[in-house]
Amino acid sequence: MADLITYRDAVADGIAREMRRDPAVVCLGEDIGAAGGVFKTTVGLQAEFGPHRVRDTPISEQAIVGIAMGAAMTGIRPVAEIMFSDFLACCWDYLANEIPKMRYMTGGQVTVPLVIRTANGGGLGFGAQHSQSVENWALAVPGLKVVAPSNPADVVGLLASAIRTDDPVVFFEHKGLFASRGEAAPDGHVVPLGEAAVARPGTDITIVALAATVPLALAAADELAGSGVQAEVIDLRCLVPLDMAAVLASVRKTSRLLIVEENPYQGGWGGTVASIVADEGFELLDAPIRRVAAACVPLPFADALEDEVIPTTPKVVAALRDLLAY
């Protein structure tokens, strides 16, 4: 039986592997040093690599991202942590106006090989300012790569690719997955950015998911399997680059598509996926494209109310049954 590791431990493992491989990789963020991170995703890094390469910072998102940008422009490969993805709003000028445009505006003379890690998503009752899924914020900014792994091995493999690329990457780690377990990544594990994975093969309907909606999709697919329905689950893994070839190949087999995302329905990444399938694969479809997404409201603190807002397995099952009956 393969060794199992938690998602949170995989984050520290993935960073450590790249820091051992490349002395230009450094980490900075709030409480990432001796404290090991508020979500315990950087445990052991400062002890192994020292305070010069694993630096605690003041509580200032602008300072963290601004310093990381400047360091990246000089050839260092910073891995900067913004504790909660909601707080990307505090450094949005750097993230939207400066970092992603530098390589373009200098004609390729200056690169910004920077990874911004951040804890994303709801389901833990952290309230409206600490629970949002904001992948769609980053998706709307040309020049940023957007990554959101669903399992520990992908955390390690995608971190390797993210840290090695010369483009800025926003790396979303879902808070609801930190305690989940999966197979440990083998030595030298690298997952190319922009390659989706077939998390579960099937022939009857395609479910496209990302990060924490992948286990929801898998659970829904397992429930339907009891009635003879074989759903294929596609784990996008990245939004930029976006592997629409994998999605279209799946829809070619199944002729039905359900998209499950934790972003709010309005402006969510699923709208982009649906649009591309409608443009490029309309004749493959035997039913309308459907989306299960979060409601367009601030996320409640109470867990029962939060479940009413974000996607859940029962909501995915109901949408699948409706789409299959179309």
Q: Are residues 78 and 163 in the same domain?
A: yes
> CB–CB of 62/90 below 8 Å?
yes
Q: Which residue shows structure tokens 């445990």?
A: 43
Rounded to an integer, what distance in angstroms lies between the CA atom of residue 157 and that of residue 175?
Answer: 19
Q: Which residue shows structure tokens 């990457």?
A: 169
Last residue of a domain, one of 136, 161, 183: 183
Question: Which segments of 13-139 are extended strands (E)?
Answer: 25-29, 54-56, 77-84, 115-120
Rounded to an integer, what distance in angstroms lies between the CA atom of residue 268 and that of residue 323?
Answer: 20
Q: Are residues 87 and 17 in the same domain?
A: yes
Last residue of a domain, one of 157, 183, 209: 183
Sheet of 145-147, strands arranged across = 54-56, 25-29, 77-84, 115-120, 169-174, 145-147, 238-240
Does 191 fall in a domain? no
Residue % of the chain over a pLDDT of 70:
99
Active site residues: 130
Q: Are residues 134 and 205 in the same domain?
A: no
Does 57 fall in a domain? yes
- Count structural domains, the chain: 2
Q: Are residues 166 and 222 in the same domain?
A: no
Q: Are residues 31 and 146 in the same domain?
A: yes
| CATH code where residue 306 lies | 3.40.50.920
Identify the pLDDT of residue 236.
98
Residue 120 has φ and ψ, to the nearest 5°, of -125, 155
**What would the pLDDT profile of 232-281 be if each residue is shown by its tens digit?**
999 999 999 999 999 999 999 999 999 999 999 999 999 999 999 999 99
Q: Are residues 290 and 201 in the same domain?
A: yes
| CATH code where residue 54 lies | 3.40.50.970
Q: Which residue shows structure tokens 């009857």?
A: 204
Q: Are residues 92 and 163 in the same domain?
A: yes
Last residue of a domain, one of 152, 183, 214: 183
Q: What is the mean pLDDT of the chain?
A: 97
**What would the pLDDT profile of 30-85 be if each residue is shown by its tens digit?**
999 999 999 999 999 999 999 999 999 999 999 999 999 999 999 999 999 999 99
**What would the pLDDT profile of 169-181 be if each residue is shown by its tens digit?**
999 999 999 999 9
**What would the pLDDT profile of 147-166 be if each residue is shown by its tens digit?**
999 999 999 999 999 999 99
Does 34 fall in a domain? yes
Specify the pTM. Answer: 0.97
For the chain, what percentages of helix, strand and coil (3-state, to nearest 5) are there?
A: 40, 20, 40
Q: Are residues 78 and 120 in the same domain?
A: yes
Q: Are residues 171 and 225 in the same domain?
A: no
Does 189 fall in a domain? no
Expressed as residue numbers, the domain containing 49 is 4-183
Q: Are residues 156 and 201 in the same domain?
A: no
Q: Is the pLDDT of residue 1 over 60?
A: no
Q: Are residues 78 and 201 in the same domain?
A: no
